[in-house]
Amino acid sequence: MPAMKSLKTIAAARRWRQGIDAKVVLVPTMGALHHGHEALIRHARKIVGPTGIVAVSVFVNPTQFGPKEDFSAYPRPLAKDLATCKRAGADAVFLPRVDDMYAADASVTVGESGLSTKLCGRSRPGHFGGVCTVVAKLFLAIQPTHAVFGEKDWQQLAIIRRMVRDLNFPIAIEPFATVRESDGLAASSRNAYLTPDERALAPSIHAAMENAAKLKSPQSIVKFCAVAISKIPGARIDYIEAVDASTLAPLSNRKTAGRLAVAVFLGKARLIDNIPLPRIP
């Protein structure tokens, strides 16, 4: 098996891409990889098959962090990340520097003005502009035919789909179901911020969501979920919403497919999760 390529600049990535005449699937990450990311990379390998190429980007993107968020403290275990990429079957890893991705006087960004105003966008102003800009840059550097995004951040997935549609990127966006721990907690790099006691409580969020989703009306689902999560010691609710799966607009009934989406602070960690609300004819 050929050695995994390490691409440290945009120029190097473009030279590498010129020599490839095959499907290329990109798995964008910010590093601190866990078994959820490994599952994404393995899924990418299935998409392209044995003759295609899997590229993983590892870049902690400063433009999607708010002024009070954890950019400087965000974990960067590069050696472990590279080992995870290799084990999962990546052919190349893109490791750009901040000054290669962003000029000192950069003044052009990519924004989304509809979906990004909802859910996490309300409490994280500017976040999705940073996401759109860096993903567009990654797409231009790697020029993938496919890109894999996890469903754990459903809003991000919806926004990237919209960006690809509206800007006519020739890229197929491949969703991948949320990877969970054995107790139901969604796998996330930020789970590392939980204390042992908080980690023991965290699965109660998903349990509350699953129980709420058994109800019929979106309003009753949200109310039940809010009551249950408010009983978790130390939990602070950012939002709990039932939304249309495509538009992220509030779900008024179950005649269209929806998602139950939550963001909850538990200690230092801000945990997000979502589950499907299937259409009820």
Structure tokens at 29: 């990450």
Q: CA angle, 117 as apex, 65 and 209 as ends, to 5°? A: 85
Distance of CA 252 to the CA centre of its chain: 26
Candidates 34, 35, 37, 146; catalytic one = 37
d(CA 137, CA 141): 6
Active site residue 37: yes
Query: Phi then psi for 43, rounded to 5 degrees?
Result: -65, -40
d(CA 123, CA 113): 15
Residue 36's closest CA among 166, 172, 189, 169?
A: 189
Structure tokens at 20: 């490839």
Contact call for residues 240 and 253 (beta carbons, < 8 A): no
Q: Burial of 238 by CB count in 10 Å (0-12 exposed, 13-18 middle, 19+ buried)?
A: middle
d(CA 71, CA 163): 25
Instruction: Give residues with Cβ within 8 angstroms of 144, minimum separation 6.
Output: 24, 25, 26, 55, 171
d(CA 194, CA 217): 33
d(CA 146, CA 141): 14
Catalytic residues: 37
